[in-house]
């Protein structure tokens, strides 16, 4: 067990190190010593992230007739967050180290002490800490457990008073609920239909940690799927299947993805049923994404707060109701981390350990690397450049690589997950064929340029 967690810890460290070294993910504000819970995506990371986000948009918006994309403002009227319950209840349990005044998530400390915080009230957590003499990571006594609201507060405009308070959105969902009526009036969609949105969300996490897993600024891809209340179970099951389709498209092995039926005491305030989809990250089995039945909680809150009618009139009938909502909610950073975890592979080539990212080709940031065998032969370089330009026009994601010897280039491309390396050599000048070396098998074969470009 200890060996396993040591191994997992090492794997995590190696992924974090590769991500930084090869330009996927850097710590936020790196030059200034960082800013806890923030990460910057480098040139390869941003491409990987976009490939994931574009795939999601294609599967869940473009390929469907019942989905409408929106891109709502991040800053919203404070009434949105009052009505949604976030101002009162979007909290995590906090404890303080009585000596250092450092703050921690109480449930995390309890879990680390081998205790179970699920479903416990603040008082019960405080008691559990006392009974088991749980200490802070610095070995000091802990305060009572209290709640901490995770929304980032700000003010809008030049006047700083109660009316100018706003929040950085902690979920993209509310931007869809506030546009439900607008989309209904613009498009008259049949039920069921859904809104989809991708974008930044912000949470002032008490203890951001585990690389990009728990950040203070991250991206979500969310769907609010509006249904006839009598048919919510059918829609829930539909989206459960779609989530599995999604994890498969990300190349995550089915055996590393697990469904967790969340018990009532642990569900969000708006949910009547939630399944967390967990993944075997190197840090353990943790939440990758969630699927929730939000009932009519949000539309009713809007209706109550604004006196605007949120009912749906079934076409050709007099039947009216406030639709219920199924919400699949996907975290982009967690998807990136799961994809990197599943892809991170070590094997042995010619007696040496090789590290490579076995990324699915549709997600790999670079699809082809093109190299001249040597860089000081003008004819070879010109031929390779011509091929590079042709491939780039077609695939976009093509890299020119002429640094170091061929072996080093292959290692570098393996580490960033490039599926195909193309080498232009002296034989190319004679017969217009090139060597293609495949990442996963390290096999090489000769292919006519014409065939490759086609
Ligand atoms: N609208 C519902 C909602 O926001 P959630 O379970 O709080 O539900 C959905 O968040 C997903 O967003 C999570 O499953 C996770 O993938 C991602 N997520 C949440 N908090 C995060 C954080 N601090 N850092 C990175 N991703 C996070």
List where CATH 3.40.50.800 sits in the chain.
366-453
Which CATH superfamily hosts domain 366-453? Anticodon-binding domain (3.40.50.800)
Phi, psi of 89 (to 5 degrees): -125, 0
Q: Is 2 helix (H, G, I), strand (E, B) or coil?
A: helix
pTM above 0.85, yes or no: yes
Mean pLDDT in order along the chain per 10 residues (454 residues): 64 96 97 96 98 98 98 97 93 94 94 91 94 94 94 93 94 98 96 98 94 97 98 98 98 98 91 97 97 97 96 95 98 98 92 94 97 92 95 92 92 97 95 96 94 84
* Cβ atoms of 417 and 431 closer than 8 Å: no
Beta carbon of 170 within 6 Å of any ligand 1 atom: no
Query: Among candidates 424, 369, 394, which has minimal Cα distance to 44?
Result: 369
Query: What 3-state class would DSSP assign to 317?
Result: coil
81, 87 Cβ separation under 8 angstroms:
yes
- Ligand 1 and 298: CB distance under 6 A: no
- Give the Cα separation of 136 and 432 in Å (integer): 67
Question: What is the Cα–Cα distance from 137 to 102, expressed in whole angstroms?
Answer: 10
Spatial separation of the C-alpha atoms in residues 95 and 373, rounded to whole Å: 60
How far does residue 205's CA lie from ligand 1's centre (Å)? 11
Residues of the chain with CATH 3.30.930.10: 2-77+167-340
DSSP H or E run through 249: helix 232-249
Whether 428 is in the pocket of ligand 1, judged by its Cβ within 6 Å, is: no
CA-CA distances (angstroms) from residue 424 to 433, 434, 435, 451?
8, 5, 7, 14
Please name the residue whose Cα sits nearest to atom 14 of ligand 1: 289
Which residue's C-alpha comes closest to atom 6 of ligand 1?
290
- Both structure tokens of 134: 């749980």
CA distance 65 to 244: 20
Ligand 1 centroid from CA 363, angstroms: 22
Strand intervals (E) in 97-240: 103-105, 146-149, 152-155, 165-168, 193-202, 217-227
Q: Which residue's CA lies nearest to atom 12 of ligand 1?
A: 331
- Return all residues near 101 (Cβ < 8 A) that are at least 6 apart: none
Give CA–CA dist 217/151, Å, rounded: 11
Give me the pLDDT at residue 376, please: 87
Q: How many angstroms is it from 99 CA to the middle of ligand 1?
A: 32
Contact 298, 23 (CB under 8 A): no
**Two structure tokens written together for 429:** 């000048």
Reply yes or no on domain 2-77+167-340 having CATH 3.90.1150.10. no
Interval between CA 128 and ligand 1 midpoint (Å)? 27
Instruction: Please tell me the distance from the alpha carbon of residue 353 to that of residue 348, in angstroms, as a whole number.
Output: 5
Cα of 424 from ligand 1 centre, angstroms:
46
Q: Which phi and psi (to 5°) does residue 186 adopt?
A: -80, -35
> Rounded CA gap, 225 and 182, in Å?
15
Q: Note the pLDDT of residue 128.
A: 94
Give me the pLDDT at residue 2, please. 44
Q: Is 37 in the pocket of ligand 1 (CB under 6 A)?
A: no
pLDDT at position 4 is: 59
**380, 425 in Cβ contact below 8 A?**
yes
Q: What CA–CA distances, in Å, run from 258 to 244, 251, 261, 279?
A: 10, 15, 10, 6
């Amino acid at each position: 067990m200890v060996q396993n967690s040591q191994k997992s810890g090492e794997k995590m460290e190696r992924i974090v190190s590769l991500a930084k070294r090869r330009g996927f993910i850097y710590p936020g504000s790196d030059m200034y010593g960082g800013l806890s819970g923030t990460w910057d995506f480098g040139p390869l990371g941003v491409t990987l992230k976009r490939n994931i986000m574009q795939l999601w948009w294609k599967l869940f918006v473009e390929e469907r007739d019942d989905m409408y994309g929106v891109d709502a403002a991040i800053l919203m009227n404070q009434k949105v967050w009052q009505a949604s319950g976030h101002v009162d209840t979007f909290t995590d349990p906090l404890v303080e180290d009585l000596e250092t005044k450092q703050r921690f998530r109480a449930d995390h400390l309890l879990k680390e002490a081998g205790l179970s915080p699920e479903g416990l009230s603040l008082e019960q957590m405080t008691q559990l800490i006392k009974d088991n003499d749980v200490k802070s990571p610095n070995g000091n006594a802990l305060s009572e457990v209290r709640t901490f609201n995770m929304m980032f507060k700000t003010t809008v405009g030049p006047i700083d008073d109660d009316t100018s308070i706003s929040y950085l959105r902690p979920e993209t969902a509310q931007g869809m609920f506030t546009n439900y009526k607008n989309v209904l009036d613009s498009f008259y969609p049949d039920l069921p239909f859904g809104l989809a949105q991708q974008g930044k969300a912000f949470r002032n996490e008490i203890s951001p940690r585990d690389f990009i897993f728990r950040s203070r600024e991250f991206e979500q891809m969310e769907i609010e799927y509006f249904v006839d209340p009598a048919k919510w179970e059918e829609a829930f099951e539909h989206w459960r299947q779609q989530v599995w389709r999604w994890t498969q498209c990300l190349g995550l092995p089915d055996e590393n993805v697990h469904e967790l039926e969340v018990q009532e005491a642990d569900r969000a305030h708006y949910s009547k049923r939630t399944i967390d989809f967990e993944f075997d990250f190197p840090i353990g089995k943790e939440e990758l994404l969630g699927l929730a039945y939000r009932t009519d909680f949000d539309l009713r809150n809007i209706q109550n707060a604004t006196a605007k009618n949120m009912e749906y009139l079934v076409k050709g009938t007099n039947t009216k109701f406030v639709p219920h909502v199924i919400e699949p909610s996907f975290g982009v950073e967690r998807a990136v981390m799961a994809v990197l975890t599943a892809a991170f592979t070590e094997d042995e080539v010619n007696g040496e350990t090789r590290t490579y990212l076995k990324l699915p080709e549709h997600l790999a940031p670079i699809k082809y690397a093109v190299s001249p065998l040597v860089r000081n032969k003008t004819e070879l370089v010109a031929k390779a450049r011509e091929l590079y330009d042709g491939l780039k026009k077609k695939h976009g994601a093509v890299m020119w690589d002429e640094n170091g010897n061929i072996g080093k280039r292959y290692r570098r491309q393996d580490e960033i997950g490039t599926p195909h390396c193309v080498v232009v050599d002296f034989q190319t000048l004679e017969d217009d064929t090139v060597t293609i070396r495949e990442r996963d098998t390290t096999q090489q074969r000769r292919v006519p340029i014409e065939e490759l470009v086609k």
